[in-house]
Amino acid sequence: MSGRLRSLVALLVFAFACGGPSATPSMSGTVDDFGDTLGLVAPATRVVSLNPVTTELLFALGVGERLVGRTSWDLFPDAARAVPDVGNGMQPNVEAVLGQRPDLVLLYASASNRLAARQLRAAGVMTLALRTDQVADLARVTPIIAAALGAAERGRRVVDSVRASLAAVGAMPRPAAPVTAFWHIWDAPLMTIGGGSYLSELLEIAGATNVFADAAAPSPQVTLEEVAARDPRWVLAGPLSAVRIRAHPGWQAVRAVREGRVITIDTTVVGRPGVRMGEAARYLRRVLIDAPPR
C-alpha cells in the first residue's frame, strides 16, 4: 500500500467531512447550484424530491412524512414507495409537481432541470437544485436541505454518521498488492465509472483501484479493447449485465472474464451517492478485498 494511496483515501474522507459552505446554511439566503437563492420564511412542510439521493436523505432526516412527491426511480427506503410518483424526473412534469401543492421542490442540478426550476419559481414554489455526484456532495447538500426543513441538528448527525462509516472502511488495512477493478455500468455504448464518480471514490476508500480513474467524466464511454488492455483484476457488473458479460464472446478478450473473475454487484446497495454510502463502501470492501469470490 503506497503512501500516495493512503493519503488519497484520507483526503477523500476529509473532503467529505469539510465539504460544503463554511457558514451554517439557513432557510433563506443560501444559493443553490443553479445560482438561485433560497427564500423560505418557515421550514418547508410539503416537499417534492425529484432526485433519489435527496429522497433518501429526507427519510434519514426524519422528515419523510413531509414528502408529497418523488420520481419513478425513488424506491428507497420502502416508505418512499407510498409517496405519489410525479414522473420519471428526466424532464419534470411541472404540472404534476404543482398538483402536489409543494412549498419546496428538490431537483438534481442538471441542465435539463433548469426550465422546470424556472417554471416552478414563477409559480411561487421554492426550488433547491443541487448536484449530487461525488462523495463530498452529500456533506455539502445535507446542511442546506436540513436547514430548509428546520432539521439542522439531525442533518449534522446524518453527515457525522456517514463520515464515520466511510472513515472506518478507509482505515482498514490496505491489500498488499493493488486490487484493480473495471466497473461496467452500461452496454451499447459501453460505459464505466471515471474518476469523477462517487463509485470510483468508494472503490478507493474500500481499498481497490478503478482502472479508469484517470477519466475525468463520471461515466465515460470506453472500448472493450481498452478494457482488455488495462487488464483489471476484477470486472464488476449488475446482475443482468454480469450474466451477459460471462456469456458474450467479445468479453473473453478481457483476462478477468476469461479467468472467471466477474463479480455481480448488488446495485440496490451502491446505486446512489446518498446516505447509504458507508454501507456501500463496506459492501465493496467485503466483495473485493475481504471475501472475494473464489
Partner 1 sequence: MRVHVWILLVAAVVAAALVGIGGGPVALSLGEVWGALLGEGDPTHVAIVHGLRLPRVVLGLVVGAGLAASGTALQATLRNPLAEPYLLGVSGGAAAGAVLALTLGLVGPALVPLAAFAGATAAVVVVLLVARAVSGHADPRVLLMAGVVVGAFCTAAIMVALATASENQVRTALWWMMGSLGDAQWASLRWIALYVSAGLILLATWARDVDVLALGEEAAASLGLEVERVTRRVYLAASLLAAATVAGAGLIGFVGLIVPAIARALGASNTRQTLIAAALAGGALVVVADLAARTVMRPAELPLGAVTALIGVPFFLWRLRSLR
Which residues contact partner 1 (rule: CB under 8 A)?
A: 73, 88, 90, 186-190, 212, 215, 220-226, 228-229, 231, 240, 244, 247-250, 252-255, 258
Please, what is the minimum distance in Å from the beta carbon of residue 94 to partner 1? 15
Residue closer to partner 1, measured from CB, 50 or 206: 50
For residues 188 and 237, give the distance between their C-alpha atoms in angstroms, rounded to a whole number. Answer: 14
For residue 47, what are the contacts with CB-CB under 8 A and spacing of at least 6? Answer: 58, 63, 66, 67, 68, 69, 102, 103, 104, 105, 106, 149
Residue closer to partner 1, measured from CB, 15 or 253: 253
Please, what is the minimum distance in Å from the beta carbon of residue 260 to partner 1? 14
Q: Which residue has the cell 478478450?
A: 253
Please, what is the minimum distance in Å from the beta carbon of residue 203 to partner 1? 18
For residues 294 and 288, give the distance between their C-alpha atoms in angstroms, rounded to a whole number. Answer: 11
Contact 274, 268 (CB under 8 A): no
Please, what is the minimum distance in Å from the beta carbon of residue 229 to partner 1? 4
For residues 144 and 196, give the distance between their C-alpha atoms in angstroms, rounded to a whole number. Answer: 22
Residue closer to partner 1, measured from CB, 14 or 73: 73
Residue closer to partner 1, measured from CB, 97 or 254: 254
Other C-beta atoms lying within 10 Å of the C-beta of residue 225: 11
Please, what is the minimum distance in Å from the beta carbon of residue 91 to partner 1? 8
Residue closer to partner 1, measured from CB, 99 or 220: 220
> 221: which DSSP letter?
B
For residues 27 and 97, give the distance between their C-alpha atoms in angstroms, rounded to a whole number. Answer: 21
Please, what is the minimum distance in Å from the beta carbon of residue 212 to partner 1? 8
Residue closer to partner 1, measured from CB, 100 or 241: 241
- Which three cell numbers mark 103? 412549498
Nearest-10 crossing angle of helices 198-206, 3-18: 130
Give the containing element (helix H, strand E) for 205. Answer: helix 198-206
